[in-house]
Structure 1
Amino acid sequence: MSVKNLKTANDHIFDHYTRVGEIISEKFSPYLEVIIHDLRNPEHSIIAIFNSHITGRKIGDGTSDIGYKKLANELPDKIVNYENKSPSGSKMKSSSLTIRDEHNKIIGSMAFNFDLAPFENIQEFFNTITKTNISQLGDFPKQEQFFMWDIRDELEQELNKYIIANRLQGKALTKKDKLNVVSIMNKRGHIKKRGSVSILSELLAITRPTLYKYIKDIDSG
């Protein structure tokens, strides 16, 4: 004996959206509420609701003003990520999708309410730990030079090249030699690197003021 299927075409449409809503709500549980409204009966439109703790509504409750505006064709079929609040005042991000029958008539809607309250403290936490205060540092660079030994290596290599090229191994550098070394370093951009002045002064056995004087003489010459 066969049992006649008494479900209408609209019933199948609502069943489809209900199954989709259930999967989506489970995927984003417990933060996403999904509601299926049958707007043919707006005062008792909710026929399915998942994660109902977000707004506290239940099956048999009526639609919101959004549903009535949809019925009046005052809103587009798809509304995505609009700012909203739950009945308790918690912030939500909501979306709504109109459900139409086979004749393109509005019969319902699918609503999504994403609870933002659990994430407000997280946002505040990230804002706190990522906040910087450059004003306390004045003209200090935004990026520190962490690998100071790399600069020393570069300067030592340049100095050794000069010493070897001019056969000065084991000999003291004259003022002219030191000026030549500073000139080479300056042309190759080493002088502009953070920490280079102190390191080069040490390598050449001169004071920082003397090194700055050499640089000034080179630039003016």
Structure 2
Amino acid sequence: MKSVMDDIDNLSRLVKMLASQFGPKTEVILHDHVYHDYNNSVVAIENGHITGRKIGDGGTNLGLEVIRKNTNKQTGDSYCYFTKTKDGKVLRSSTYYFRNDNNEVIGSLCINTDISDYLNIGKSVENITMYTPDKEINEVFASSVEDLTEHFIKEAKALLNKSVEDMSKEDKIEVLTFLDKKGFFLISKSGDIACDYLKISKYTLYKYLNEIRETDEDKSYSR
């Protein structure tokens, strides 16, 4: 399979079946990462009220990281991890990544179950759901690409905790390294956003990114 769109009818039926099986507290969502940009990768969804998304919306920050590390077979599928939505819902989530023969990510199937009500019942149900705060993962369920880029920029600001005016070249490279590893530059127009934030030109941005990626390649070859 070269893309989830090659079998979209069957996969859409699978999404409907899983949502019917688990009920209205479970969102099931299918992403295509071949024919759709990341900011509109949702091609099938049921119970989108859980994260507030719909067909045509984008993926999360965690998905970007996996795609950024595309050739690393150790990154990818995640089962039974815990996240929180903007409005405070606690979700138990699992994500399966579809890959082609070259091990490239071509799509993903995500299941997000709202377990908030169960957690409020008491410790006994907490044991059943296996929810522990130290396992919580910071996943952002953005309904727009603007929400996702804003999240990454906030994380970048917290990284050094200093104003852009006080940043050295090394500081800016550290910020760009962080954003690059998070998959930030896979988002359309992310380069413009990074340039505006760091107050650098497009030429400087690409120069720094080339330095960062050449360093990463040198490290991988030395292993």
Q: Which has the higher contact order (CA 8 A, sep 6+)?
A: 2
Please, what TM-score do these two structures have when normalized by structure 2? 0.48
Greater Cα radius of gyration, structure 1 or 2? 1
What's the TM-score once normalised by structure 1's chain length? 0.48
Larger relative helix fraction? 2
